[in-house]
Amino acid sequence: MKETIERLARREARQLGRYNSGLSDDAVRQRFAVKDIARLASNENPLGMSPLADAALWAEVTRTACYPDPASLQLRAVIAARTGMTPEPVVMGNGSENLLEMLCLAFLNPGDRVVTLLPSFGLHHLYPNMLGAEVTLVPVNVQMEYDLDAWAQALAQPAKMVVFSNPSNPVGCMLGREGFERLIAMTPPDCVLVIDEAYYEYCAAHPDYPYSLCVLRQQARPWIVLRTFSKAYGLAGLRVGYGLACHAEMVELLDRVRTPFNINRMAQAAAQAALLDVAHVARSVTHVTQQRAWLRDQLLAMGWGVAPSQTNFLFVNVAQDSAALAERLLHFGVIVKPWLEAGYTQWLRISVGSEAANQQCIAALRQCAQ
Ligand SMILES: *Cc1c(COP(=O)(O)O)cnc(C)c1O
């Protein structure tokens, strides 16, 4: 059977790498007989969702028998109002991962060139690979910051799509205003520019964080900025992301490749309410900023390298095989993400969690890092 399936499969699917999505709490509880789990592998919000989102979600549950609005009109109107756009160039995804998939389906032919960052968010290369595109990975420099010279070299050749996260996942570094403008200027005009701002809320107040929409609006080229409700808004389980595009025509194209009802009712209602709870996001960001500083100090005191981070996670050079260390941490109920990309296998990505989870993580690291 395995042979038949392999033979029938598309070549691109057969050769595709796996997304490293990690273990569930229950799996770890069962396998290692631990009670308290420190979930620090997926960059979730330890404060959970806004109480307003919680209420909106439950109010919507009674309408589960009816299909959701396929155009997510109300939600797009609220997002548009918040971002100073009209609703037409706003597009919704079942998580922003769904938007990455839609962009690849809409734009990439086999052999097209995609340029992205290394280390990278897995889906920035997996979806292009799924469609047979060739991916060029541009490494960060030794300071673990965006390397603009390396980008200039990579962008000297034609590309169909340029996609990167700012701030970066998994590194956490941020490309500042000047660097952002330089990078945009060196991108060939005849390509699709995808700026993944999954951690936007954590650096929106940073004085050097580029106001990407403002910069991109001056560009006569196709672009889209991706954001998500999964991180600072604490709605990862509901799967809602959105794209702010250069033009309504981009959304019309993406609409043709997307599943019609990609945002369920509860998700549409909760996301809309979550957007209005500005105080909850502010609390979440403050929590992360404080706990990140504590976690960083602890990790530095253990003699490890910690990349600069403007996000809700830290990328740590543990000077040993990070997958083996992550495995040992599971025995203490601590789930973190070892990086598996070549060149970064000594790096661990640790999410900033609740105070208790962060302490559990540091205590476990002290026990099993020797
Ligand atoms: C978490 C993350 C996403 C995916 O977010 P979803 O909206 O949950 O799909 C996309 N891009 C980056 C860089 C992320 O870190």
**85 alpha carbon to ligand 1 midpoint, in Å?**
22
Return the best residue to mutate from 104, 226, 230 for the ligand 1 pocket (most ligand atoms within 8 A of CB).
230
**Is the C-beta atom of 201 inside 6 A of ligand 1?**
no
Tell me the residue type at 62.
T
Tell me which residue has its CA closest to atom 2 in ligand 1: 198
pLDDT at 21 > cutoff 80: no
181 vs 23: CA distance, rounded Å = 39
DSSP alpha helices (H): ranges in the chain? 2-8, 11-14, 25-32, 51-61, 73-83, 96-107, 123-130, 148-154, 177-186, 200-203, 212-217, 248-257, 265-276, 278-301, 322-330, 355-368
**Is the C-beta atom of 198 inside 6 A of ligand 1?**
yes
* pLDDT recorded at residue 236: 98
Average pLDDT over residues 93-108: 98
**96 alpha carbon to ligand 1 midpoint, in Å?**
6
Average pLDDT over residues 312-318: 98
Q: What mean pLDDT, rounded, does the chain reach? A: 96
pLDDT per residue over 275-293, tens digit each? 999 999 999 999 999 999 9
Least confident of 29-33, 90-94, 198-202, 319-323: 29-33
Confidence grade of residue 369 (pLDDT, cut at 50, 70, 90): confident
Average pLDDT over residues 95-115: 98
* pLDDT recorded at residue 2: 87
pLDDT at 370 > cutoff 80: no
**172 alpha carbon to ligand 1 midpoint, in Å?**
13
Least confident of 2-6, 21-25, 159-163, 321-325: 21-25
pLDDT at 19 > cutoff 80: no
**33 alpha carbon to ligand 1 midpoint, in Å?**
30
Note the pTM of the prediction, 2 decimals.
0.96
Confidence grade of residue 55 (pLDDT, cut at 50, 70, 90): very high
pLDDT at 361 > cutoff 90: yes
